[in-house]
Amino acid sequence: MKKILVLHTGGTIAMKEDALTGGVSPDVANPLMDATITLPENVELLVEDIFNLPSPHVTPRHMLQIKTRIQLAKLAGVDSVVITHGTDTLEETAFFLDTTIGNQLPIILTGAMRSSNELGSDGLYNFESAIRVAAASKSQGKGVMVVMNDEIHSARYVTKTHTTNVATFRTPTLGPIGLISKHRILFMQELLETQHWDVDTVEGLIPIVKAYAGMHGELFEGLVQTEIDGLVIEALGAGNLPPETLPPLQKMLDKKIPVVLVSRCFNGIAEPVYDYQGGGSELQKMGVIFCNSINSQKARIKLLIAQNRHLSREELIHFMEN
């Protein structure tokens, strides 16, 4: 008998639409708690409402709470975990778990774009699909996954791409690692091994700044005066910044504040290619760290984990760049 721990955390999958106003909000009781689903053979569900929050309310401390609960479940003999979550920050929780827990057991996150009583509600179907993936023997060693709309995505690269479409979760450049058919769970890609760091704290202030044409240095100048613990920049193109931003950025680096750079582009990676003022090659020489395969919100989670592990400069660079 395979034991699967189900952790409900809230989100649209646990909400209802008001018939009069059309507003969608949390229900008094999570509709999934009493839902009837078809379970795979030899599966036992252990179901918990760990909290019930819209995902914009979810913080790294909630992610830490989920991680701790999963680790305790692993010690108690649970084989895999399914987490229902709001979609707005689902990718960040998934990435946090993937980076701290890794491949210890299959962890599947799922959600919904339509609440439980809306026409075409997708929550119950996604929930059942997530349980099927969690029960599949092939899910071992795949890290944390996101299952929605008949697709299986790696937590490392998946992102929300549409505000309302049920096919919102996509993996730019690489595509899904697997598909869900009526009778089979199909994995078609293998992931490269990555480094994992467990943490017991998630303290730190790490903002994200997006670069734009004509950007000046005032915003960076203001950040230099604050007590930030790190900074993530969504840079232009392959990883470039307007030249006016460089003087305050240098002040930040001189204060030993780690600055991590990703591209604001949807596809591709950030890399130090251009050798002009503000170009990626010059930024790397200044000490900016290039995080070349994830988006800014995930780079922030990764830097937060690194800061709470108190990594050395060399360890930090290796962790962020790989």
Q: What would the pLDDT profile of 110-125 be if each residue is shown by its tens digit?
A: 999 988 777 778 889 9
| 263 and 154 inside one domain | no
Look up the CATH number of the domain holding residue 306.
3.40.50.40
Does residue 115 sit within a domain?
yes
| 126 and 229 inside one domain | no
| 72 and 215 inside one domain | no
Query: pLDDT: is 24 or 78 the higher one?
Result: 78
Which positions are annotated as active-site residues?
12
| 14 and 106 inside one domain | yes
DSSP of 127-194: HHHHHHHHH-GGGTTS-EEEEETTEEEETTT-EE--SS-TT-EE-TTT--SEEE-SS-EEE---PPP-
pLDDT of residue 29: 62
Q: Which domain holds residue 118?
A: 2-187
Does residue 154 sit within a domain?
yes
Question: Is 224 within 8 Å of 197 (Cβ atoms)?
Answer: no
For residue 288 the two structure tokens come to 């900016």
Task: Using a pLDDT cut of 70, give the percent of the chain over it.
Answer: 94
| 261 and 179 inside one domain | no
Q: Pairing between strand 185-187 and 178-180?
A: antiparallel
| 40 and 159 inside one domain | yes
The DSSP symbol for 26 reads E
| 55 and 125 inside one domain | yes
For residue 75 the two structure tokens come to 């010690």
Q: How confident is the model at residue 220 (pLDDT cuts 50, 70, 90)?
A: very high
Look up the CATH number of the domain holding residue 142.
3.40.50.1170
Does residue 196 sit within a domain?
no
Does residue 46 sit within a domain?
yes
Q: How confident is the model at residue 182 (pLDDT cuts 50, 70, 90)?
A: very high
d(CA 172, CA 262): 14
Q: What is the mean pLDDT of residues 193-199?
A: 92
